[in-house]
Amino acid sequence: MIDQISNYRKAFKAIFSQKIVRDVMPSQFAEENRVIPQGEPLPGKWNYDNSPLTREIVDVLHPDNPIRICVVMKSAQYGVSDGVIHNGIIYLMKHAPAPILLTAGDGDLVTKSMGERIPAAIRSAGLYNLIRPSNQRKGKGRSSGDTLTTKQFPGGSLTAQTIQSLNKMRQTTYKIGFLDDFESAVLTNEQRDGDVFSVVKGRFTRYADQMKVFLISTPTLKDVSKIEPAFLKGDQRYWFMPCPRCGEYFRFEMFGKNSTIQKYGILYDVEDGQVIQDSVKYRCPCCGGDIDEKEKGAMIRAGEWRPTAKPMNETYRSYHISDLYSTFGTTWFDLAEEWNEATKDKLKLKAFLNLRLGQTYEERRQEVKSLVIAHNTREYEIGTIPNYLSNQDGNGDITLITMACDLGGHIGDDETEDDVRLDYEILGHSANGSTYSIDAGNIGTYKVGKNWDKNPNRPKYTYRHNVYNSVWPVLSDILNKEYLTDDGQRRMINICVIDTGYATMDAYEYLNQNPGVCFGVKGESERKVISDYTDVKLFKESNERKLDCFILTESIMKDRLADFMKKSAATQPQQENTMNFPQPAAGKYTLKNYFAQYEAEVKKPEYDAGGILKGYRWEKRHSGSDDHFKDCRVYNLFARDIYVKLFAKQLKQQGAKIDENSFYWSNFCNYMNHV
C-alpha cells in the first residue's frame, strides 16, 4: 500500500507539472500507448484501422474540438465501447483530467465495466499508477479512490452508475459524460415535465462551454426510443466510401432503390431456404457495380464521415454506425443469413434492425383475425395425429405432442359449491415449426357471465382431489390415452403444461402425481409492458418450484402467435409455423366456440402518468371475452420450448457435449431423426 501511495503521489506531481498537450489527439494517444494483450481479439498495439469509424468520434474529446454533444446511434457490437469510451478515458486521465460520468444499462454492467474492462484498458496504456489507491474513510465505512463505482486520479475522477437512476445525477456536476445504454434511461416522477436529454444536460451546466457529453446506445422501438430523437437533433453523420468500380462516394445500406439502380445493397441467392455464400455481394447505388466482401475493408478505411442534416446548433453532432461497416467478425454473408431468417419472424426482424443495423423498429397496433386461421381447417379428424399429412405439406414429421391446460371458474367453500372449467388443447409440432391441433375441449361447463340458475342440473366440477366431481381423473384419461397417426403409428402426449396461476395448490398436487410429464406454467405476476425484447427470456424456472414450474413472458409468445396466424395452410409447401386444424365435429373447432377466442385480445400501447409511451401490452377487448383456447395455444408453444430445454439438460447430464443454452427446436428434431 505504501508503494502504491508513493507511486500515486509521483504521478500526481508529474501530471500537474505539465500543461495539456494539445498536439496529441485522443486517437493518436490510444494508438501510441494502448496495447491489447495476447488472447484478446486483435492483440498488439491499438489500431484504428480495425474500427475506423470510431476515430473521429473519440477525437471529439480534444479540448480544442468545439463539439459539446455527441450522439452515437449504433449496432450492438461494432466496438464503440473500446474505441470511444475506454480510449477516451485513458486520454482524459493523461492529458485532460476532469470529473467524468459513465453510465451502463444495469448494475451488473457497471460492475463489469469498472471491475474488468476499464481497469484492463488503463493497464494496457500503462496508466494504472494514476489511479488513487483504495482507502477506508474513517467513521463512514466507505471506500474511496479505486472502487467499483469510482476511480480517482490526479485532477479528476471517473464515476459510474446505471442509466436507469438519472435522479442520482443531480448530486454531482460533471465535465465529461459517456452515457452508454442511453436507450434504457428512466425518468423519475419529478422529471416528467422534461425529456431525458434535458435532464441529463442539466448535470453538465457548470462546464457549459467545456463539457463533452456522449449519448451512446443501440436503439429499440421507435415510439419509445430515446437515442433516435437525440440522433435526429444532430447533423446525422454517415460513413461514405468510394466505390471500387466508379469511384463515387456512398454509404452502406442493407437494401435500397433509386431512379438509376433498380435495387442496391446486399444481394444474394437462396437455395432450399438457405443463403448461398458465394452469391452474397454489395451492389453500388451509383453505378450498379457489384462489390465483393474482400474489397470491403479497403473501402471502409478510405471513407469519411459526412453530415446529412442541419444540427440544432453548431456544437451538436450525431453519428450512425451499423454492422455493414464491420471490418472483422461480421461478414455480409452473416448479415444475409440473419436477414433471410428475420423475414420469417417479427422478433428476429426487430433484433436484426436494432442489433445489426442500429435502427429503430416501428411497432404497430396488432390485432388478430380468427377468420384467417379458420380457413386452415384440413382433411383430418379430431383425435388423429396427421403425420403423413405433415410430410405432404412439406413440414416433416410431427416430432412432439404437447398438451396445455388453462384453469378457470368459481371456487366455493367445498366441492358442492365449486363450479370450474379446465380448457385444454393437444398439439402436434412438426419439424419446421408448423403445428397441427389434435384435440381441443373442456372439462366442466362454467362460463363467465352466464346465468346458469335456469339449469340447476348442469354438472359442476371442482379442482379438489379425491372427490366425485374432480376434473383431474378426467384429465388423466385424456393425458394417458394413445393417439393414432394417419400413417399407422401409436403416440402419446410427451409433455403437459398446466396453468398454476389459479387453484394453485390443487394444480401442484396433480404435478406431484405426474412427475416428468406434467409441468406448471404461470405468467409473470405483473403483466409486463414490453418496449424492448432484447435479452428478454421466454421463460425461467419458478423460485417456488424450480424442478417443474416455469414463469412465462407471455407477451413475446403472443406476438409470435399473431404472426403465425397470418399464414395460410393453402400455401404449398407450407411456410414455417403454419397453424393447421382438424375438421369440426361434435361442437368442436367452430368459429364461435373455438376460433373466435383468438380475437379476444388486442395489443395496445400503454403510457405512464406523464403521457410518455412505455411500451405495449396484450389486453382483452372486453372483460367477458373468452380466450381460454388462445391461452392453451400460447402455453403449448411454451411447452415445446420447455421440453427441448429439459431434453438438452438431460442429454448433457448423460455426457453429451452440447450447449443446452443454444440447443433449439431444430437441434432437437435433427437429434430425433438420427436416434
Block means of pLDDT (10 residues each) for the chain, length 675 residues? 50 46 85 88 89 96 94 92 95 94 88 91 91 65 73 92 69 86 68 56 76 93 86 95 96 88 90 91 94 94 96 94 90 94 83 92 63 89 96 95 95 89 97 96 81 70 95 97 94 96 95 96 66 62 90 86 89 92 94 89 67 68 81 95 93 86 87 79
- Using only the alpha carbons of the chain, give its radius of gyration: 30
| Burial of residue 296 (number of CB atoms within 10 Å: 0-12, 13-18, 19+) | buried
C-beta of residue 623 within 8 angstroms of C-beta of residue 601? no
| Residue in 136, 120, 133 with CA at minimum distance from that of residue 4 | 133
User: Which residues does residue 429 pair with via DSSP β-bridges, in sequence order?
Assistant: 400, 435
Structure confidence at residue 572 (pLDDT): 85
Largest CA distance in the chain: 97
133: preceding bond cis by omega (within 30 degrees): no
C-beta of residue 388 within 8 angstroms of C-beta of residue 484? no
CA 291 to chain centre: 32
573: preceding bond cis by omega (within 30 degrees): yes
Alpha helices in 283-358 (DSSP H): 296-301, 332-342, 346-351
* Residue 501: DSSP 8-state: S
Structure confidence at residue 670 (pLDDT): 87
**What pTM does this model have?**
0.63
Cell numbers for 597, please give them.
377466442
Residue 371: which H helix or E strand, with range? Answer: helix 370-374
User: Which residues does residue 104 pair with via DSSP β-bridges, in sequence order?
Assistant: 162
**First vs last Cα of the chain: how many Å apart?**
62
Q: How far is CA 593 from CA 89, 375, 419, 526, 601, in A?
A: 64, 15, 20, 29, 16
Give the β-pairing of 316-321 and 366-367. Answer: unpaired
Q: CA quadruple 199, 205, 207, 210: dihedral positive or negative?
A: positive
CA 35 to chain centre: 33
Cell numbers for 323, please give them.
454492422
Task: Report CA dihedral (201, 203, 208, 214) to the nearest 10 degrees.
Answer: -50
* Residue 575: DSSP 8-state: P
